[in-house]
Each structure stands twice: as C-alpha cells, then as structure tokens.
A and B are shown apart, each in its own frame.
Chain A
C-alpha cells in the first residue's frame, strides 16, 4: 500500500504547506511565495502520474525502453508559465500597493486604510522606495 502512494502523500503535504502559507501569512510577498509552493506541489503530482517505473524521458531513441507519458509534461509546461505570469502580476500589484499605502503587511494596510481614507488617487506615491539597481535619478517626489 505505502510503496505505491508515498510519492502522492509527500506531494500532498507540499501542497498543503503552500496553501497554509497563502492563507495564514499577512505579508503580501510571502503569500505569493506560498502560492508558488502550492502550485509546484500540484505540478509534481501531475508529472508523477505520468511516470512509469524504469521508464525514460519521452524522447524517442533506439532501444530506450518504456517511455514516460508526454501528456502530463505538456500540461505542466503550460501550468509553470501560467504560475510565473500570475506571480509577476501579483508582484507588480505588491509594488504599487507599497507605493500607495506605504506597507505590504495586511494588518498595517487595514490600519492605514482606516486612518487616511481619502489620499489623492492610486497614482500618488507616498514614499520613494530605494533604488535597488545602483542608479539614482533627480530627487523623486518624497
């Protein structure tokens, strides 16, 4: 019983850890990291379904024995790129939220939203983040 399913239980554990991080953590960037862990767990599950014992990669070569199934690998190639696309959108939002609210912690966000409900629209950057790439332009609005 255990011999056949240990992989699936390990992967289910990874998925659940990711889900736990997404829901419990307050920091927006940490949530996205948890989301990545959750998605990777699912991808590994798909690929382990397509694996045959003693098989080899589905690249046809003479006498290369049984091949693992190519279909789950195609699906996961698509899913990985979808995951990164969602991560990029989430991170862009996190940067903009930091510039508008001054923080990326959920509880502080609620406090800031209650204290100053009506600053000027979403485009005003309250504070100037540091320049991570060693370049400085004339004093940004601080």
Chain B
C-alpha cells in the first residue's frame, strides 16, 4: 500500500513539474513549486517507511520549514519589485 502512495506522490510531482515548466506567469510557477515542496515532504516520510528506516523524519520537518521560507522569500522579493515600480498601484486596490 505504501508503494502505491509512493507512486501517486511521484506522479503528482511530475504533474506539478509540468505546471512549473508550462506556467504562463510567475505566480503559476510559484504555486507549482510550493506544491512540489509539500509533495517532497510526504515523499521523504513515505520513503522512510518504505525502506525500513522510519526514524529519519527530521528531514521532513526541515523540508516543510525550508519550503515555507522559500515561498515567502520568492513572494516577498519578487512581489516587492512590482510595488516599487508602482505597476500595481502601490498601497492597495
């Protein structure tokens, strides 16, 4: 059953990767990469159980943390650039 979940996760990762490549604009790509990150967290957890050493799940916690920091960083930095160039009308709609 776990190997079935592993296959499902891999398929989802490939789908997310396709969206990351195709994604017309930046936000689709950020979304795809964020989803890919979450699936990687699950991949590590399932791989731990599948290969018999489940006690290495600290990596899962780290993945989730780092994925969150990367997503915030991408939004914070790229988003900010728009704010400066004033394209999006500055403070609010």
Contact = CB atoms under 8 A, between A and B. Distances in A.
Nearest to A55: B51
Contacts of A56: 51-53
A132 B53 contact: no
Contacts of A85: none
Nearest to A131: B84
Chain A interface size range: 10 to 19
A140 interface: no
Interface string B26-59: 0000000000000000000000000111011000
A130 interface: yes
A126 B84 CA distance: 19
Interface residues of B, number: 9
**Interface residues of chain A: helix, strand, loop or mixed (majority):** loop
B77 interface: yes
A113 interface: no
B56 A132 contact: no
A65 B1 CA distance: 23
Nearest to B78: A132
19 contacts: A56-B51, A56-B52, A56-B53, A57-B53, A57-B56, A61-B53, A61-B55, A64-B52, A64-B53, A65-B52, A130-B80, A130-B81, A130-B84, A131-B84, A132-B77, A132-B80, A132-B81, A133-B80, A134-B80
Interface of A: 56-57, 61, 64-65, 130-134
